[in-house]
Amino acid sequence: GDNMAARRSLASVAESIGRLAVVVVGFFVVAGLFGVNLNGLIAGLGITGLALALAARDSVANVFGAISIIVDQPFHVGDWIIVDGVEGEVITIGLRTTMLRTGADTMVTIPNSNITNSPVENFSQRRFRRIRPSFEFEGDSDGSSLREFCESVYEQVLADPRATKSDDSWVRVTESLPSKITVSSNFYCLSSAKTQREFTEDILLMARAGGIESGLKFHEPRRRTQM
Within the chain, residue ranges assigned H as helices are 2-33, 38-55, 57-72, 112-116, 143-158, 193-213
In this predicted structure, what is the pLDDT of residue 9? Answer: 75
Q: By C-alpha distance, which of 92, 51, 88, 86 is closest to 70?
A: 92
C-alpha to C-alpha distance for 148 and 154, rounded to whole angstroms: 10
pTM: 0.61
First to last CA, the chain: 65
C-alpha to C-alpha distance for 160 and 170, rounded to whole angstroms: 14
C-alpha to C-alpha distance for 100 and 213, rounded to whole angstroms: 49
Reduced to 3 states, what is the DSSP secondary structure of residue 126?
Answer: coil
Q: Sort 46 into a burial class: Cβ within 10 Å, 0-12 / 13-18 / 19+.
A: exposed
DSSP secondary structure string, 75-98?
A: --TT-EEEETTEEEEEEEE-SSEE
The number of residues making up the chain comes to 227
Q: What is the mean pLDDT of each run of 10 residues along the chain (227 residues)?
A: 73 77 81 71 68 75 84 89 93 90 95 90 90 93 92 95 93 93 94 90 94 91 62
In this predicted structure, what is the pLDDT of residue 227? Answer: 52
**Kind and range of the H or E run holding 131:** strand 128-131
Crossing angle, helix 2-33 and helix 57-72, to 10 degrees? 150
Q: How distant is the alpha carbon of residue 207 from its chain centre?
A: 30
Confirm if 115 and 84 have CB atoms less than 8 A apart.
yes
In this predicted structure, what is the pLDDT of residue 44? Answer: 67
